[in-house]
Amino acid sequence: MLNRRLLRIKVMQTIYAYKQAEQSDYHLALDLIQSTFAPDLNSMQAPDYKRLEGNKKMAGLLFEEHFQRQQPVNDEDATEEVNKATTEAINYYHTQLTKDRQFLGKQMVSAVERIYDTYLWLLILLVELSDYVQQQEEERMQRILKPQPAAVRELKFRENKVADLLRKNTTLEKEVVRRGIGWGADREFIKKIYREVISTDTTYQQYQQLDTADFEEDKKIILYILKSILFKHELAVSFFSETDISWAENADILKGMLTKTVKALEVNNTDSLHLLELSPNWEDDKEFMKDLYKHTLDNDESYEQIISGKSKNWDIERLAMLDRIIIKMAIAEMLHFPSIPVKVTINEYIELSKEYSTPKSKQFVNGILDAAVAELTGKGLLKKSGRGLIDNK
Q: Which of 172-186, 299-313, 324-338 has the lowest mean pLDDT?
A: 299-313
Homologous superfamily assigned to 299-389: NusB-like (1.10.940.10)
- On average, the pLDDT of the chain sits at 90
| Structure confidence at residue 191 (pLDDT) | 95
CA angle 200, 204, 208 (to 5 degrees): 105
pLDDT at 168 over 80: yes
Separation between Cα atoms, residue 90 and residue 291, nearest integer Å: 27
> How would you class 343 by CB atoms within 10 Å of its CB: exposed for 0-12, middle for 13-18, buried for 19 or more?
middle
- CB 162, CB 266: distance < 8 Å: no
Q: What is the pLDDT of residues 309-344, one digit of tens each?
A: 877 655 555 568 899 999 999 999 999 999 999 999
pLDDT at 383: 85
Cα 343 from Cα 385, distance rounded (Å): 14
Residue 2 and residue 279 in contact, taking contact as beta carbons nearer than 8 Å: yes
What's the burial of 22, exposed, middle or buried (CB within 10 Å: 0-12/13-18/19+)? middle
Give the amino acid at 290: K
Taking the C-alpha atoms of residue 279 and residue 14, their distance in angstroms, rounded to an integer, is 20
Determine contact, residues 329/317, Cβ cutoff 8 Å. Answer: no
Average pLDDT over residues 342-356: 94
Distance CA 335, CA 298 (A): 13
Domain ranges of the chain: 15-108, 112-272, 299-389
Burial 257-288 (b: 16+ CB within 10 A, else e): bbeebbeebeeeebeebeeeebbeebeebbeb
Give the tens place of pLDDT for each residue, 64-93.
Answer: 988 887 766 666 677 889 989 999 999 999
- 97 vs 41, higher pLDDT: 97
Tell me how far apart the alpha carbons of residues 127 and 158 are, in angstroms, rounded to a whole number.
9
Q: What number is the average pLDDT over the span 358-387?
A: 88
pLDDT-derived band at 393 (thresholds 50, 70, 90) equals very low
Categorize the per-residue pLDDT at 233 as very low, low, confident or very high, splitting at 50, 70 and 90.
very high
Average pLDDT over residues 143-164: 74
Q: Could you tell me how many residues make up the chain?
A: 393
pLDDT of residue 364: 87
User: What integer pLDDT is reported at residue 144 of this predicted model?
Assistant: 65
Averaged pLDDT for residues 223-244: 97
pLDDT class of 135 with cuts at 50, 70, 90: confident
- Please report the pLDDT score of residue 75 as a whole number: 64
For residue 244, the model assigns a pLDDT of 92
Instruction: State percent of the chain over pLDDT 90.
Output: 69
Q: How many CB atoms lie within 10 A of CB 298?
A: 12
- Confidence grade of residue 204 (pLDDT, cut at 50, 70, 90): very high
- Mean pLDDT in residue range 127-156: 75
What confidence tens digit (pLDDT) does each residue in 237-277 have? 999 999 999 999 999 999 999 999 999 999 988 888 999 99
> CA 347, CA 291: separation in Å to the nearest integer?
20
Give the chain as a 3 state SS string. Answer: CCCHHHHHHHHHHHHHHHHHHHHHHHHHHHHHHHHHCCCCCCCCCCCCHHHHHHHHHHHHHHHHHHHHHCCCCCCCCCCHHHHHHHHHHHHHHHHHHHHHHHHHHHHHHHHHHHHHHHHHHHHHHHHHHHHHHHHHHHHHHHHCCCCCCCCHHHHHHHHCHHHHHHHHCHHHHHHHHHCCCCCHHHHHHHHHHHHHHHCCCHHHHHHHCCCCCCHHHHHHHHHHHHHHHHCCCHHHHHHHHHHCCCHHHHHHHHHHHHHHHHHCCECCEHHHCCCCCCCCCHHHHHHHHHHHHHHHHHCHHHHHHHHHHHCCCCCHHHCCHHHHHHHHHHHHHHHHCCCCCHHHHHHHHHHHHHHHCCCCHHHHHHHHHHHHHHHHHHCCCCCCCHHHHCCCC
